[in-house]
Amino acid sequence: MIQDHTHGRFDAIAVVDFGGQYAHLIATKVRRQHVRADILQPEDPIERFAGYKGVILSGSPALSSHDEDSAYQKGIYALDVPILGLCFGHQEMAKHYGGEVIHGGREWGHANLHIMREHPLFEGLDEVEQVWMSHFDSVSALGPDFEELAYSELGEGEGEHRYAAIGSDKLKRYGFQFHAEVDDTRHGEQMLRNYVINICGCEPSWTMERFVEEQLVAIREQVGERSVFLLASGGVDSTVAAKLFAQALPPDRLMLLHVDNGLMRKNESEKVLALLRAQGLGENLHFIDATDDFLNALGDEVEPEAKRKSIGETFIAVFDQEARRLGAENHLLGQGTIYPDTIESGGTKRAHTIKTHHNRIPLVEEMIAAGRVVEPLAELYKVEVRELGETLGLPRTGLWRHPFPGPGLGVRLLCSEGKEAPDVDAIQTQAAPIALKHNLTATVMPVRSVGVKADVRSYERPVMLSGALPFKELLEASGELLKQVEGLNRCVWNVGSKEAPTLRPKRATMTRERLNILREADAAVMHTLRMNDLYDSIWQCPIVLVPVAVDAQEQELCVVRPVLSERAMTAVAAELPETVLMELRETVLAIKGIGALGLDLTSKPPGTIEWE
C-alpha cells in the first residue's frame, strides 16, 4: 500500500494496531467504505499521524487497561480529529479521560446492544442491535465529558459493567466495548461507516482497481530484475497471487510449483493442476509428490504447533530442493499469504500466537527479513482476495471454493499419545449439570483443540452433547457451557444418538491409513453438501478425525464443522437440515474406522474454525 497519504488523492483513516486479532480487519472494513486506511504502530511518532481525518484504536490481547499504564503514543489524544476506540481502545479512551476500568464483566460471542439515544454513530440502526464481544476487562465509570450511548444486556439496570458504547461530542471521542469490525456484529459495518463518513467527513473514493494498480507497481519494485518462484496450492489465495504475479512480471520470470504433501483432499492435486492450466498459468508450472517427505517429517508428532511447524519447514525444504533442481535457487519465494495467516501466527508486534501458519514459520520469517519473500496479498482477508480475483478476471467457481488450510488435512487429523486426561473429571463435574438443565448429557473429551478467547490462544477440552433438541436450543446450551465452564473451548453435538458415548483416549499419529479415512469422510461430506445445494451457502466445512475410541473396534469420532463467516476472523456454526444430518450420519458411519459423527456448534471465538 502507498504510505504517502498526505499527498495522495484520498482521505485516510489511521488504525493503531495494538495487536488484536481484528486490527487489520478494521482497516479492511474502512476500505470497504471506499476510504483509505493505513496501519500505524502505537509507538509511532505523533508526526506520523498528520493528515489523517480520523484515528481508530484497535483491541489488544497483550495489554490490559485495568492493571497497568499501557505504553503508547498518548499524543494522539491531542489530535484535532475524531478518535474511535474498540474493545481495549475503548477502555483506554475511557481511562485517559477520567473513567475507570475493572477486571471483570467478561463477555464473548453474541450480545444485545441497547442504544440509548439517537446519535450519528448509530444512524440507520435499531434500538437493539446484535454485536460481538470478546473481553475480560470492562469500563465501570466515565469521565466528566463522556456519556453512555449504549449498554449490553450483561449490564442492564445499574450494574457495574453497563458501558458498551460511550462518547463525547465535545471532544469527538468515542468508544465501543464490542467489535464493530467483525461480521457477527450485524450492522457493525454501518457503525464504522457512520464514524468514517458522518463523524470524520471522509470522501469515499478508494477502489479495488486502485489497489491492483498499486500492487502491480509494488511487485515490480520489490522484484526488480529478479524472478519469483510461487508455491501454488491451487487454493483461492495462491491462485489469485499467481494471477497478480502473471500480470506484473514477464512469463519467463514467474515459476509455479505445486507440491502434493500427502495431506491433500481426495484427487486434489489433479484438480489443482487442471485449474492452474485453465487459467493460463501452466507455462512454467511444476509438480512434485512429496508425501513421503512430509509424513517422515511429521513422524509421531501430536502437538498442533509442532505439526504446523514441521509441515511449514518441509514445504521450504522441498521448495529449496526443487529450486536447485530447476535452476531457480536465486528466485524470490512467492506466497499467497493473507492477513489472518499473519495475525493468528503472532506475526505483528503485539499479536498473540493462536496457531502458526505454515507460511509463517521461523524459517519463512528469516527469508522475509532477508527480502527473499514476496506476498502481495498479505494485508487482505479472504473476501478481499475474492474481490481482487474477480477484478483480475478469475472465474467465480475457482474463487468461491471453500478455503482449505495450507497444512491441509494435517490440522484436521488430530493426533494423540493416548494418555489419560486427569482434568476431564473436574471439567465434567462443572459441565454435566448445565447440560442436564437443557435435557442433554455432556461428555468432556480426553483430547484438546485450539481456540481463541479475548484474542489469546487457548488449548482446551471439547465437550460432546447428546440428546435431541432443535438447533437453536443446542446453540444456547453450547454458549452457556462455553461461557460458564473453565477449560472448555469447543462444543459438539452427537448427531443422531441420544445415548452419551464412552470416549476413551487413543494413541493415534499421522498415518496413511488415518489420512485415507479422513479423505473419504471429507469427500462424502462435500458431495452431500453439493447434492443438497448447501455448498455455496456455507463458508467452510472442515471435517475432523478425533483420536478417541468410541467402540470396541477402536473406531474414531468424525466431526463436521460447517460455519458461516466472511473473513475467518469470526464465525458461527451453520445449521444443516435434519434430513441432511441423517444423510451425513449414514454416509460417514459407513466408512470403516469411523464410529460416531459430531456436529461442531462452536462460534469463533471461543473456538477457531480449524481444530488445530
Active site residues: 87, 179, 181
Distance CA 19, CA 13 (A): 18
Q: 358-380: buried (b, 16+ CB within 10 Å) or exposed (e) per residue?
A: bbbbeebeebbeeeebbbbbbbb
Reading the block at residue 547, the C-alpha cell is 483420536
- Kindly report whether the peptide bond that precedes residue 606 is cis, defined as omega within 30 degrees of 0: yes
Reading the block at residue 13, the C-alpha cell is 483513516
Distance CA 312, CA 527 (A): 30
Burial class (CB in 10 A: 0-12, 13-18, 19+), 509: middle
The dihedral of CA 426, 432, 435, 441: what is its sign? Answer: positive
Distance CA 44, CA 51 (A): 14
Residue where the block lists cell 492435486: 269
Residue where the block lists cell 502507498: 2
Reading the block at residue 107, the C-alpha cell is 463477555
Q: Are the C-beta atoms of 158 and 123 separated by less than 8 Å?
A: no
Residue 560, C-beta contacts closer than 8 angstroms, at least 6 positions apart? 495, 525, 541, 543, 584, 588, 597, 598, 599, 600
> Which letter does DSSP use for residue 409 in this model?
G
Q: Hey, what amino acid is at 471?
A: F
Q: Hey, what amino acid is at 22?
A: Y
Reading the block at residue 309, the C-alpha cell is 511447524
The neighbouring-strand residues paired with 345 are 353
Alpha-carbon distances of 544 from 478, 534, 575, rounded to whole Å: 19, 19, 18
Distance CA 359, CA 352 (A): 17
